[in-house]
Structures are given as C-alpha cells and as structure tokens.
Amino acid sequence: MLRLTNLLGRPATADAADVGALRDLSFRLGASGSQPTVAGPAVEGLVVGRRSATRLVPWSAIDPTSIGDHSDRRTPVRLITALPPTRELFDDELLLGRDVLDTQIIDVVGHRVNRVGDIILEPRDGRLVTVGVEVGPASLVRRLGFRRAADHLAEHVVAWTDLHLTSARGHTVQLATSAAALHRLDAGELAELIARLPSSHAVDVLAAVPPERATEALHLSHPHLRGRLRRLQVSTEPARPRWQRLRGWDRRHGPVQR
C-alpha cells in the first residue's frame, strides 16, 4: 500500500533529465473500465513539473515500477519518453491532492464528517488504484514526522464507495457522475447526507437525484433544515420572463379561466 503524501514531491525524470517533481495524481469518477471491483478508480494521469510550469501527462507515459513501494522520497518517478504535451482535465476527472487531500468528506455509511489526512493507493496489474481515504489522528501525526507514535494510533480508511467529497470540484463532479455514492442512497440515507452538507451543497444534491427521492428525503429531515432548504430551492430557481409570469392572468379580472 502507498500513501499519496509519500509520493507527492518526489523528483520526476524524462530521458534521465530532471523535469521537476510529481505534483499530483488524477483519477476519473465516471471513466468506463477504470473502476476495479474491489478498490476505487485507477489513476489516469500525473501532474509533473516545477511550481511555475506543470503539465498533466497520462499514466502510460511513466514507468510504473518507479512508482512502486519506495519509502525513499528521493527515488525519482521515471517517464519512459520525453516529457509529453499537457492535456486538460476531463469533465469527470479530479486531482487527488487538490480536490481530496486535506478536504472534508462525508462518510455516507458511518454518517460522519471527516477531514482527509491521506489517500491510500495500491499498485495492481501495472496500474495504481485508489483504495480509499485515511481519516483520523494517525495520518496527521505521521505527516508531522512522528511515525512511531502514529503506529500506535488506530487507522481508519473510508472506501471510495462510501464517501461524498465537499471540495468545490469534487462535489460538482459527483453530482454529474452516476457512479458517485450519493446516487445510490435511499431517502433515509440521503436525509443523513444533506443534514451534514452545507446548505448550498445540499440543494445541489436534492436537484441531482430523482424528484420523488428528494421529496421523501426532505420529509425525513428536521423541520428547520427542511424549511431552510426549501427556501433556498425557491431562491435558486431561475426567474421566468415577465410574459411567462403574466401568462394566464388578466390584470383586471384575475386568473383567466380555461
């Protein structure tokens, strides 16, 4: 098993030339064939370069053995060709470091709000797959350099199938991705989720699920939360043009009888 924080910052080379460092890893939530049955999605790309100039390159551009279980952070990540041109993120693609690490997540099974302390990855069949996110004090203590102390603390890993991201891009991508956890929740579980999300995010979630499930989830929510979310839903509805607002209305006699 590998931890993301042990990979980030490692030097990167192409044709034995220094090209900077490994800055981030990307994965796709909705890519067909990239979701192993046991672990989470496979890594699709790597952000390499220097702080002033980074580029996103595909997983196929690197030697996967250079990512393996190396405890020495000075071991370089090797690109098998000259540094390829960068590409843009796909619509369903996220960056592990930017969009997941150190952000809050909702554990939709344990109904807890946690902050991601690290991300667990595993080399498998020439790929690197995401196992889940590590939460709790152990990951923080380890990142502070107290590894021996961290070994005595309980580790808790939340699987990808059991979490909802609250980062701006993570939240948006999950709303549009059918494989995301929120789309599998029943009304009761959905009510638990929206109770722990910021109100604006909760309204987004209700708009992304079937209307009957959203209505039932609201019915199961606390009355104060239900009222606040309904007011937000109304305030975010696009205003209709004036001619549509007055359609079917006679100004002198009230609604037109049809």
With respect to residue 113, please indicate whether it lies within any of the assigned structural domains. Answer: no
Strands 112-124 and 2-3, by their bridges, are: antiparallel
Model pTM score:
0.83
Helices and strands in the chain: count of H runs, count of E runs: 10, 14
Q: How far apart are CA 104 and CA 136, in angstroms?
A: 12
Q: Is residue 253 part of a domain?
A: no
Q: Is residue 130 included in any domain, yes or no? A: no
The answer to whether residue 109 is domain-embedded is: no
Give residue 53's pLDDT. 85
CB-count burial class (<10 Å; 0-12, 13-18, 19+) for 96: buried
What is the distance between the alpha carbons of residues 30 and 150, in angstroms, rounded to a whole number?
A: 34
Query: Is residue 31 one of the residues assigned to a domain?
Result: yes
**Number of domains composing the chain:** 2
pLDDT digits (tens, 9 = 90+) for 21-80: 999 999 998 754 444 444 688 999 999 998 778 899 999 999 988 887 566 677 889 988
Given 41, 63, 95, the domain boundary residue is 95
- 8-21 as b/e: b if 16+ CB within 10 A: bebbbbbeeeebbb
Q: Which pair of structure tokens corresponds to residue 193?
A: 């989720």
222 found inside a domain: yes
Q: What is the DSSP letter of 83?
A: -
Tell me what pLDDT residue 69 has.
Answer: 58
Are residues 75 and 91 in contact, defined by beta-carbon separation less than 8 angstroms? no
- What is the torsion angle, in degrees rounded to the nearest 10, for the CA atoms of residue 197, residue 198, residue 202 and residue 205? -70
Question: Nearest to residue 162, comparing CAs of 112, 200, 207?
Answer: 112
pLDDT in tens, 192-206: 999 999 999 999 999
Q: What percent of the chain has pLDDT over 90?
A: 52
CB 3 within 8 A of CB 118: yes
Q: Does residue 223 belong to any structural domain of this protein? A: yes
CA 143, 41, 210 angle in degrees (round to 5)?
115
* Amino acid in the structure at residue 116: V
The domain spanning residue 36 has which CATH number? 2.30.30.240
Question: Range of 191's domain?
Answer: 185-237
Domain boundary among 68, 95, 122: 95
Among 51, 70, 95, the domain-final residue is 95
Tell me the average pLDDT across 222-250: 69
